[in-house]
């Protein structure tokens, strides 16, 4: 029988959101004057439940991926588990020493030397001094900063800084480790090293809770997963199913209806409509693009990026690679055809970019389609494959329609 | 069988099955958890054991501040020596020479330096402890540790300065050929009282400052006021001599009145200490310290959410 490492029972956490911005006291004077003016009035506030009735049991040695959309409660759960914030109701029982890593380099001080920061950061992460001394050489070796140990870290390159920070954290040795999205640091080579280190931790029989938006990393590291949605547990079990549910739960297929405004700039890409939302592999993909009038002096390029479930870029096409060249500012709509790419079954997101010198408009997840079934290609069974494949395909822009009237030039 | 069991409130129809499973697990698994996380409301214990467990962090954070203060300064440690000397110099000029306050048989400079060293321990600890939660907010929101560690660690740097100041004081005593005698053995007691009083106020202020940053502006003003409302640059004898009797007890309500005078007495043997007011001050300092720690513990549950 396996032993329990973490038992969470009926765990909830609520935050109070105060209403009526006018009445909210942000300094002591306001707080006091509000109290004097309305001594019996209680502040109106709404309870926001970041976590709601979570019940979970995690066994020793499990490496569990915690996934969910932004605001699903992942970070709150980790904060409660690592005792940073208290739950509102419920109970967590931890069977073993816990260490948490919600951020790389917490408490690093720029004025202190590398050596001093190793001891400081180690102590902050809960390591005892002799423990750090014992691991000191390994940490320095892992980070590769021998030469700069007595240099203040403010003079480090950002890469060195992050490497040193991760190295200290990687040598933390708790029985239960909680990790929040910290692998997305450093260059590709160092990331590989980090993933390797995480794998070692996972294989050493320790219990790991790993929060990430990087589904490929979750897939590679975890042996089970928890999907959170609006503060509740939506699914627990094997990783592949959880990732499927996670991708499916996020949005409808087809063109996105609403969109966020891109950093205060006017949006230019108005609609991105795939001709079909659901189709088998090796089918041409047809997409209609509508633009609103933009800066009439600029001629720009348009690019599409197709991402799979794991948020890996599988197709990138751009008008830059075509002989037809740039898109004039008076173009109102055009169609793009991507000829029969061999895509694996799954749900794909399309990001759209309009750019000339810099980005004019960027629309993440402008549309979404699903590839339904795999087609054997020369005996190659696509459905048994997972992970990243860059997909190559011919493509063309056509039907460039020019707007009838333009802003006066 | 999945490796994780989960029940959501909506899945109540399956709830009983999980409950059964859980009871089985309870019997087979280690019945004693290493740690239980539960909401606790109201007053709570100080958990001094936890602080002891994190003593390395306390020490490292404290030493961090000590190392940091004079980094990239030209005169470095010299500032530690200069600060109380300059303060005592000003007081000697204003109170000793201009106002001609009494200082017993002592040179006014030695007299005001002794007061200044005790006062500086109090004021720098109070200032550092009050702001420590806000200046370390990134730690509070990312890492667990007993939160009392932070205000406690802020006393390190003032204590180091205090130590340096004492050495200067002893040199000065040797120069003036003043023998403090056995009274000096009480100096650590006087220092501890000042430190506890400062930390006690610091506990309150730091937990309030998490929510209301106003205190950042209040504290320097209050510290300035206290400096002149306490017998730092002048003696209690001067108060007794120049202030009408009915106002003297109002003056003595400030616990620092007796504490600073007591501190100077342990170094110089000069001072008028009324036993009743001394008891009052000791009680006030220790109670502020203890109650402050409990109040801090009470409000710390919300720190990470509002900081």
Decide if B177 touches A, using CB distance below 8 A: no
Predicted confidence at residue A298, as pLDDT, reads 67
Tokens of A133: 């001394």
**Among candidates B4, B34, B139 on the partner chain, residue whose Cβ is nearest the Cβ of A95:** B34
Helices (H) and strands (E) in chain B, counts: 15, 2
Listed in order, strand segments (DSSP E) in A127-267 are 176-180, 207-211, 224-229, 232-237, 254-255
* Straight-line distance from the first to the last Cα atom of chain A, in angstroms, rounded to the nearest whole number: 77
Would A97 be classed as within a structural domain? Answer: no
Would A257 be classed as within a structural domain? Answer: no
Structural contact between residues B164 and B81, judged by C-beta atoms closer than 8 angstroms = yes
Tokens of A20: 């009526």
- Band of residue A248 on the pLDDT scale cut at 50, 70, 90: low
For the stretch B142-158, pLDDT in tens is 888 999 999 999 999 99
**Alpha carbon of residue A211 to chain centroid:** 9
Would A61 be classed as within a structural domain? Answer: no
Rounded Cα gap, residues B89 and B85, in angstroms = 6
Distance from CA of A30 to the nearest CA of B (A): 10
pLDDT, mean of residues B167-196: 92
- Band of residue A344 on the pLDDT scale cut at 50, 70, 90: confident
Predicted confidence at residue A68, as pLDDT, reads 84
Would A275 be classed as within a structural domain? Answer: yes
Predicted confidence at residue A212, as pLDDT, reads 80
- In chain B, what are the domain boundaries? 48-300
**Higher local confidence (pLDDT), B81 or A249:** B81
Rounded Cα gap, residues B197 and B256, in angstroms = 9
Structural contact between residues B101 and B243, judged by C-beta atoms closer than 8 angstroms = no
- Band of residue A277 on the pLDDT scale cut at 50, 70, 90: confident
Contact B37 A92 (CB under 8 A): yes
Would A248 be classed as within a structural domain? Answer: no
CA distances in angstroms from A3 to A54, B3, B36, listed in the order given: 20, 11, 17
pLDDT, mean of residues A234-238: 90
Contact A102 B143 (CB under 8 A): yes
Distance from CA of A366 to the nearest CA of B (A): 33
pLDDT, mean of residues B190-199: 97
pLDDT, mean of residues A249-254: 58
pLDDT, mean of residues A10-36: 71
Q: Which of A2-16, B119-133, B193-207, B247-261 has the lowest mean pLDDT?
A: A2-16
CATH number at residue A309: 2.60.40.1930
> How many beta-carbon pairs below 8 A join chains A and B?
159
Q: Which of A141-145, A358-362, A390-394, B87-91 has the lowest mean pLDDT?
A: A390-394
Distance from CA of B299 to the nearest CA of A (A): 12
pLDDT, mean of residues B130-146: 90
Percent of chain B with pLDDT over 70: 90
Decide if B13 touches A, using CB distance below 8 A: no
What range does the domain containing A333 cover? 266-374+391-398
User: Three-class SS of residue A109?
Assistant: coil
What is the average pLDDT value for chain A, to the nearest integer? 78
User: Three-class SS of residue A345?
Assistant: coil
Going by the DSSP 8-state scheme, the letter that residue A346 receives in this structure is E
| B residues 192-221 closer than 8 Å to A (CB) | 212-215
Percent of chain A with pLDDT over 90: 13
Decide if B134 touches A, using CB distance below 8 A: no
By C-alpha distance, the chain A residue nearest B29 is A3
- Strand pairing category for A232-237 and A269-274: unpaired
Return the closest-CA partner of residue A292 out of A336, A331, A334.
Answer: A331
Decide if A316 touches B, using CB distance below 8 A: no
Predicted confidence at residue B154, as pLDDT, reads 95
**Among candidates A82, A95, A103 on the partner chain, residue whose Cβ is nearest the Cβ of B144:** A82
Helices assigned H by DSSP within A98-180: 114-124, 129-143, 158-170
List of residues 6+ apart from A298 with CB closer than 8 A = A329, A356, A360
What sign does the CA torsion over A52, A224, A193, A82 have? positive
pLDDT, mean of residues A393-403: 69
Decide if A7 touches B, using CB distance below 8 A: yes
Chain B positions in Cβ-Cβ contact with residue A84 (cut-off 8 Å): 140-144, 304
What sign does the CA torsion over A368, A374, A379, A380 have? positive
Return the closest-CA partner of residue B112 out of B223, B227, B232.
Answer: B232
- Band of residue B162 on the pLDDT scale cut at 50, 70, 90: very high
Decide if B182 touches A, using CB distance below 8 A: no
Contact A86 B40 (CB under 8 A): yes
**Among candidates B25, B139, B213 on the partner chain, residue whose Cβ is nearest the Cβ of A107:** B139
Would A281 be classed as within a structural domain? Answer: yes
pLDDT, mean of residues A367-383: 58
Predicted confidence at residue B10, as pLDDT, reads 35
Structural contact between residues A280 and A371, judged by C-beta atoms closer than 8 angstroms = yes
For the stretch B12-62, pLDDT in tens is 333 333 333 333 344 444 567 888 888 887 788 888 888 898 899 999 999
Would A90 be classed as within a structural domain? Answer: no
β-bridge mates for residue A13, sequence order: A51
Which ipTM was obtained for this model? 0.76
Decide if B306 touches A, using CB distance below 8 A: no
Distance from CA of B141 to the nearest CA of A (A): 7
Q: Which of A355-364, A383-392, B20-29 has the lowest mean pLDDT?
A: B20-29
Burial class (CB in 10 A: 0-12, 13-18, 19+), A47: exposed
Return the closest-CA partner of residue A53 out of A235, A242, A233.
Answer: A233
pLDDT, mean of residues A307-312: 78
pLDDT, mean of residues B270-297: 93
**Higher local confidence (pLDDT), A126 or B166:** B166
List of residues 6+ apart from A258 with CB closer than 8 A = none
pLDDT at A21 over 50: no
pLDDT, mean of residues B188-207: 96
Decide if A30 touches B, using CB distance below 8 A: no
* Straight-line distance from the first to the last Cα atom of chain B, in angstroms, rounded to the nearest whole number: 43
- Tell me which range, A228-242, A381-395, B192-206, is most confidently predicted by mean pLDDT: B192-206
Predicted confidence at residue A296, as pLDDT, reads 59
Q: Which of A334-348, B119-133, B241-255 has the lowest mean pLDDT?
A: A334-348
Q: Which of A53-62, A164-173, B261-270 has the lowest mean pLDDT?
A: A164-173
Chain A positions in Cβ-Cβ contact with residue B140 (cut-off 8 Å): 84
User: Three-class SS of residue B214?
Assistant: coil
Tally of domains within chain A: 1
Decide if B27 touches A, using CB distance below 8 A: no
- Find the helix or strand (DSSP H, E) in which B58 lies: helix B55-69
Decide if A63 touches B, using CB distance below 8 A: no
What is the average pLDDT value for chain B, to the nearest integer? 85
| A residues 222-281 closer than 8 Å to B (CB) | 223-224, 226, 232-238
Find the helix packing angle between B78-91 and B108-135, rounded to 10°.
Answer: 130
Distance from CA of A193 to the nearest CA of B (A): 24
């Amino acid at each position: 029988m396996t032993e329990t490492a973490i038992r969470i029972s009926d765990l909830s956490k609520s935050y109070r959101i105060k209403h009526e911005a006018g009445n909210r006291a942000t300094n002591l004077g306001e707080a006091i004057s509000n109290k004097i003016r309305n001594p019996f009035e209680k502040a109106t506030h709404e309870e926001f439940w970041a976590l709601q009735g979570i019940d979970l049991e995690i066994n020793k040695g499990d490496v569990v991926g915690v996934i969910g959309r932004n605001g699903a409660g992942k970070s709150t759960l980790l904060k409660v588990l690592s005792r940073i914030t208290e739950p509102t109701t419920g109970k967590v029982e931890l069977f073993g020493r816990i260490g948490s890593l919600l951020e790389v380099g917490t408490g690093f001080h720029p004025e202190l030397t590398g050596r001093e920061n190793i001891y400081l950061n180690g102590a902050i992460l809960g390591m005892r001094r002799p423990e750090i001394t014992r691991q000191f050489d390994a940490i320095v070796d892992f980070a590769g900063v021998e030469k700069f140990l007595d240099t203040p870290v403010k003079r480090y390159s950002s890469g060195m800084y992050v490497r040193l920070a991760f190295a200290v954290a990687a040598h933390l040795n708790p029985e239960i480790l909680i990790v929040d999205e910290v692998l997305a640091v450093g260059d590709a080579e160092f990331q590989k090293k980090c993933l390797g280190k995480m794998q070692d931790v996972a294989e050493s029989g320790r219990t790991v809770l790993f929060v990430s938006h990087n589904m490929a990393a979750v897939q590679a590291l975890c042996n089970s997963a928890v999907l959170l949605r609006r503060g509740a547990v939506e699914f627990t079990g094997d990783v592949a199913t959880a990732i499927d549910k996670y991708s499916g739960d996020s949005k409808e297929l087809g063109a996105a209806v609403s969109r966020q405004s891109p950093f205060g700039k006017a949006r230019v890409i108005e609609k991105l409509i795939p001709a079909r939302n659901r189709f088998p592999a090796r089918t041409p993909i047809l997409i209609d693009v509508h633009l609103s009038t933009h800066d009439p002096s600029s001629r720009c390029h348009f690019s599409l990026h197709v991402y799979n479930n794991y948020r890996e870029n599988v197709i990138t096409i751009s008008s830059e690679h075509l002989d037809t060249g740039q898109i004039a500012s008076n173009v109102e709509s055009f169609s793009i055809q991507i000829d029969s790419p061999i895509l694996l079954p799954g749900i794909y997101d399309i990001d759209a970019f309009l750019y000339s010198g810099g980005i004019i408009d960027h629309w993440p997840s402008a549309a979404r389609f699903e590839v339904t079934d795999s087609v054997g290609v020369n005996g190659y069974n696509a459905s048994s494959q997972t992970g990243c494949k860059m997909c190559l395909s011919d493509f063309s822009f056509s039907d460039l329609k020019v707007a009838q009237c333009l802003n006066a030039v | 069988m999945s490796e994780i069991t989960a029940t959501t409130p909506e899945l109540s129809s399956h709830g009983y099955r999980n409950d059964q499973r859980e009871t089985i697990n309870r019997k087979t698994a280690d019945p004693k958890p290493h740690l239980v996380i539960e909401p606790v409301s109201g007053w709570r214990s100080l958990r001094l054991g936890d602080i002891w467990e994190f003593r390395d962090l306390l020490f490292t954070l404290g030493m961090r501040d000590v190392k940091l203060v004079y980094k990239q300064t030209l005169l470095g440690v010299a500032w530690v020596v200069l600060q109380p000397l300059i303060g005592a110099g000003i007081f000697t000029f204003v109170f000793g020479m201009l106002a001609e306050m009494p200082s017993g048989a002592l040179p006014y400079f030695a007299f005001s330096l002794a007061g200044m060293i005790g006062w500086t321990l109090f004021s720098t600890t109070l200032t550092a402890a009050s702001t420590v939660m806000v200046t370390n907010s990134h730690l509070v929101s990312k890492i667990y540790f007993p939160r009392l560690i932070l205000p406690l660690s802020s006393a390190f740097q003032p204590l180091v300065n205090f130590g340096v100041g004492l050495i200067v004081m002893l040199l000065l005593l040797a120069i003036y050929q003043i023998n403090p005698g056995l009274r000096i053995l009480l100096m650590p007691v006087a220092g501890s009282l000042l430190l506890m009083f400062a930390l006690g106020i610091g506990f309150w202020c730091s937990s309030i400052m998490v929510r209301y940053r106003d205190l950042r502006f209040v504290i320097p003003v209050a510290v300035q006021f206290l400096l002149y409302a306490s017998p730092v640059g002048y003696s209690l004898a001067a108060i007794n001599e120049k202030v009408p009797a009915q106002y003297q007890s109002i003056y003595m309500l400030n616990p620092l009145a007796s504490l600073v005078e007591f501190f100077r007495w342990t170094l110089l043997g000069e001072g008028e200490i009324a036993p009743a007011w001394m008891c009052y001050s000791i009680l006030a300092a220790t109670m502020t310290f203890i109650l402050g720690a409990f109040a801090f513990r009470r409000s710390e549950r919300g720190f990470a959410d509002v900081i």
